[in-house]
Structure 1
Amino acid sequence: MLVSTPIPPKILIIYAHPEPHHSIANQIMIKQAQLLEHVTVHDLYGAYPDFFIDVNYEHQLLMQHEVIVFQHPLYMYSCPALLKEWLDRVLGKGFAFGDGSALMGKYWRSVITTGGRKEAFSPMGYNKYPLEQILQPFELTASLCQMKWLEPLVLYWSRNVSDSEREDHAEQYRQWLVAPLAFEINQGVECVNDQ
């Protein structure tokens, strides 16, 4: 008897790192993702070094995928500038919300690397707030677009963790990409490096 393997949903990774060659952790994760046929990696800084975003092309990409991953470092409690520009221009009223809701029912997951340890993201840490609160604008944007928010995948202190921790994190990411909806989590931030 033949057992059919479920077809994984098409995944679009919106990758935004202004200095991708300086991020060992993100390089490892992107290399893992690029090996999967159902995953499209879209490097924003590679595609738009001048910040002139082709909004129609971006809309087409979004429509062709069920799961949208926003992979980036945490920059000043947010995302790199080009991703912010992308969010403002591409997820506009009439397409993503308002009269249009083209992304309704699609999934949003943030995949974040941070420069700080996990304990830095607490009331006693130097960032004063947990990462869940810092990422609320992204969760609210997903909600506005009627997308389903999946718990962020975070690698804290990404430049300073061991090579094996980076590899473990990349493997955790790859496993999720293989079957993203089987790993749907309801609470907390999924992370590596809980030190």
Structure 2
Amino acid sequence: MDEPSQPTPPTPVYVLAAHPNLRESRVNRRLQEAARSLPGVDLNDLYTSSADYEFDVPREQARCEAAQLLVLLHPIQWYSMPALMKLWFDEVLTFGWAYGSGTALRGKDLWLVASTGGSEASYHPQDYNRYFFDAFLPPYEQTAALCGLRFLPPMVLFGAHRASEQDIAGHVAVFRERLASYPHWPEMDELADCPTCEVPAFDRPLGRGA
């Protein structure tokens, strides 16, 4: 008699979340709760775990190594990520581990899940944000490329401050479904591999100063 097939374990995911005022959040708080509810998802709320601006770098690197999908979950602030997440990048993605001679992240995926206060229409050359939203993505895309990560199409909720309850609930449901079904997304086969970025060792001195 055939043995019953065992369920396939979920692909490990590391969600790096940053919201300076999570209690007041209408969107990110619920996205974090959805991520926490899923098996195989490791979530780190930076403004709770690293409120002193200190990181356990070896532990953070181990969490990244254990995951196949790295998720950046945050509101857009000044056209970028919150300050504590930027500090995490500075401290954790070290030369010789994440890029350069280091290949710890190569072959993994990076997914940006962001929310904005401004509407989608405001990200337009004729409106106050002056650029389409995609114009603010190159720092994310190139960081991914430098580390050998494939940058997946971002998931963005525009106008989060005024979004209806129905819109927020739908956004959270899609996010949860995407995490649960990764890597079996319909568009995966159409995505290009990550470009190769060779960084000469002499471009990165041993010290911190330039």
Normalising by structure 2, we get a TM-score of: 0.84
Q: How many corresponding residue pairs?
A: 187
Structure 1 residue aligned with 2:170: 168
Q: Is the 8 A contact 1:69 1:111 kept in 2?
A: yes
C-alpha distance in 1 between matches for 2:138 and 2:74 = 15
1:9 matched to 2:5? The reply is: no
Q: 1:112 aligns with which of 97, 109, 114?
A: 114
Structure 1 residue aligned with 2:88: 86
Give 1:97-176 correspondences, 5 Å limit. 97-176=99-178
The amino acid that maps onto 1:121 is: Y
In proportion to residue count, which structure has more strand?
A: 1
Aligned-pair CA distance for 1:67: 0.4
C-alpha distance in 1 between matches for 2:73 and 2:62 = 19
The amino acid that maps onto 1:137 is: P
C-alpha distance in 2 between matches for 1:160 and 1:183 = 29
Q: Does the residue aligned with 2:162 lie in a helix, a strand or coil?
A: coil
Gap runs ≥5 in structure 2: 192-210
Structure 1 residue aligned with 2:58: 56
C-alpha distance in 2 between matches for 1:110 and 1:3 = 34
RMSD, aligned CA: 1.6
C-alpha distance in 1 between matches for 2:8 and 2:168 = 29
Q: Does the residue aligned with 1:9 lie in a helix, a strand or coil?
A: coil
Q: Does the residue aligned with 1:31 lie in a helix, a strand or coil?
A: helix
Worse-superposed segment, 74-83 or 128-137 = 128-137
C-alpha distance in 2 between matches for 1:150 and 1:39 = 18
C-alpha distance in 2 between matches for 1:184 and 1:54 = 36
Deviating 4+ runs (over 6 angstroms): none
Q: Deviations over 1:105-133 (max 9, x none)?
A: 01100000100000111212211112112
Aligned-pair CA distance for 1:157: 0.6
Give 1:37-48 correspondences, 5 Å limit. 37-48=39-50
Gap runs ≥5 in structure 1: 188-195
Aligned-pair CA distance for 1:184: 5.7
C-alpha distance in 1 between matches for 2:111 and 2:129 = 22
Aligned-pair CA distance for 1:5: 4.7
Rg bigger for which structure?
2
Q: Is the 8 A contact 1:63 1:102 kept in 2?
A: yes
Q: Does the residue aligned with 2:89 lie in a helix, a strand or coil?
A: helix
Structure 2 residue aligned with 1:27: 29
Q: Does the residue aligned with 2:160 lie in a helix, a strand or coil?
A: coil
Aligned-pair CA distance for 1:8: 2.6
C-alpha distance in 1 between matches for 2:58 and 2:81 = 22
The amino acid that maps onto 1:16 is: A
Q: Is the 8 A contact 1:150 1:184 kept in 2?
A: no
Q: Is the 8 A contact 2:10 2:39 kept in 1?
A: no
Q: What percent identity do the matched residue pairs reach? A: 32
